[in-house]
Amino acid sequence: MTAHGEDVRDGDGRAESDSPSEPASSPETIEVPAARERARAIPEAAVARLAVYLRVLSGLRDQDVTTVSSDELATAAGVNSAKLRKDLSYIGSYGTRGVGYEVAVLIGQIERTLGLTRKHSVAVVGIGNLGHALANYGGFPSRGFPVAALFDLDPDLVDVPVGGIPVSHIDDIVEVCREREITIGVIATPAQGAQEVCDRLVAGGVTCILNFAPVVLQVPEDVEVRKVDLAVEMQILSFHVARRQQEAGVAGESEVDGADIGPPGTGVRVPDEFDSVNGMVERL
């Protein structure tokens, strides 16, 4: 079944339109014929959940599970069934009534949507404690993101292998990134050097950057940047702890505004779409 005018059903064979709480998909998602256009119509929050579904499905495949129902997949991914069915409607649903989704088929569809069928190579810049850990993280290559280049300023680190890859000097970022066809750059440097590193990565042809430095990077419009600020994540977690204590009637040292996460008067708020905070390991 596809989203091209045919009957779109969920993993249990139910038509998406049968769900009173969730529409099958947005009109533009159904009307566009090309998979590329359909992917562009997927909301960013749904893209993040697709990555979670893929992780769950990959685990099921490793356990030799061949089919999974929408309820089972939703529970394992931590979402409700209606949200899962709508997310999968963006890419087309492949389910059979009474059987569910074929795990292998759904994995392939999500991988194509997320661009995981293409070749990716990762460069990590800044081989301190965080960069060293990222360079050695086995989850990258196992999920299709092999680390192909490492960079640092420290002359004592240059040419020293980390995770089997010799560290190069940051002066060589442009040349090495072009030679090794780096598609994703990871910045794990202090804030003061992050923009220069970013500029070098972009000059080397890198169009996707994962930024761990506590700074907002300035990039061209065709460069995608994802920022991971661990301090902000901790502050958001603190907000949720304080809110739960308040709801339970536990008195803290100070009152916490149910919507504010920063010091009084800062106006720092949790985005409406923020449902939960994934752990750092789960993000990677």
Which residues carry a binding-site annotation for NAD(+)?
126-131
Binding residues: 126-131
Contact partners, residue 128, CB within 8 Å, separation at least 6: 188, 189
Asked if 84 and 14 touch (Cβ cutoff 8 Å), the reply is no
Residue 225 DSSP code:
E
CB atoms within 10 A of CB 108: 15
The strand ranges marked E within the chain are: 67-68, 95-96, 100-102, 122-125, 147-152, 161-162, 165-169, 184-187, 208-211, 224-227
Q: Which long-range contacts (CB under 8 A, 24 or more apart) does 13-21 make?
A: 13/95, 13/96, 13/97, 13/98, 13/99, 14/97, 16/85, 16/86, 16/89, 16/93, 19/82, 19/85, 21/82
Q: From CA 215, how far away is CA 27, in angstroms rounded?
A: 38
Decide: residue 211, CB within 10 A, 0-12 exposed, 13-18 middle, 19+ buried: buried
